[in-house]
Structure 1
């Protein structure tokens, strides 16, 4: 089995444990917000991301717990664009992926592009649902 998983910068910085390629992780996964990821990384890349790693939500029917091996890590950096309107907020655009061998949540920004998270590929020989 193989999954592409979004790991948000703030999730790692708050409660995450550093990990590296080849390590075994035990994570809680929830369905990825593909609309948000499409803004950051484009439709094609977002379509490959099934799950987001989660530390804070209450248990729900849509989540799963996995134990799997980290097969790949890419840092995601994006420009932040300010939305228009009364309740303006920033959202990521023009994201780029940079391969890494480890992740600790504190990857430096790349010029105008800010670090927003990791795209992680997990693999397991068997169905790791617990």
Structure 2
């Protein structure tokens, strides 16, 4: 099993294909940058307990040495929100703890800025040939 963060930025909007539970995917995977993962990493602030489950990032426009090929077995939406504990609006990300059936989730609400996706296969090195 591999759990990835997919951001819905220009990269996905440009070249990403729709996916849903059960979709067969073949994606490039990038390791998490140092300090991003784990319970005290930078992503923990944005993604809460989901940050500790991430194995990597999915991307399209780089020369990844790793990939994953398998079926999508879980999707959680990452949505934009605002935190106002300090009294001033601050952009944050929140993870929908309710699993969705496809990338859009069919749930109205705040904009989707990405997904946490589980694929039923391990990350493997790309064949250099």
Q: Would you say the 8 A contact 2:5–2:114 is kept in 1? A: yes
Matched residues in 2 for 1:127 and 1:74: separation? Answer: 19
TM-score, normalised relative to structure 1: 0.70
1:27 touches 1:53 (CA, 8 Å); kept in 2?
yes
The aligned counterpart of 2:46 is 40
| Secondary structure in 2 matching 1:45 | helix
**Closer, same or farther: CA 64–80 of 1 in aligned 2, 3 Å:** farther
Q: Is the 8 A contact 1:107 1:115 kept in 2?
A: no
Whether 1:121 and 2:118 are equivalent positions in the alignment is yes
- Once the two structures are TM-superposed, the CA of residue 114 in structure 1 deviates from its matched residue by 3.5
Higher strand share: 1
Identify unmatched segments of 5+ residues in structure 2.
84-89
1:78 touches 1:96 (CA, 8 Å); kept in 2? no
RMSD over equivalenced CA pairs, Å = 2.8
Q: State the shift of 1:79 in Å.
A: 1.6
Asked if 1 retains the 8 angstrom alpha-carbon contact of 2:3 and 2:53, the reply is yes
| Alpha-carbon displacement from aligned partner over 1:35-91 (angstroms, at most 9, x marks no partner) | 44212111x32011111111122x25xx4022111111111123246xxxxxxxx75
Task: Report matched runs for 1:87-106 at 5 Å.
Answer: 91-103=91-103
Gaps of 5+ in 1: 82-89
The answer (yes or no) to whether the contact 2:2–2:123 under 8 Å persists in 1 is: no
Deviations 1:9-33 (A, max 9, x none): 1132221000111111010000134
Question: Are the counterparts in 2 of residues 80 and 114 from structure 1 also a CA contact under 8 Å?
Answer: no
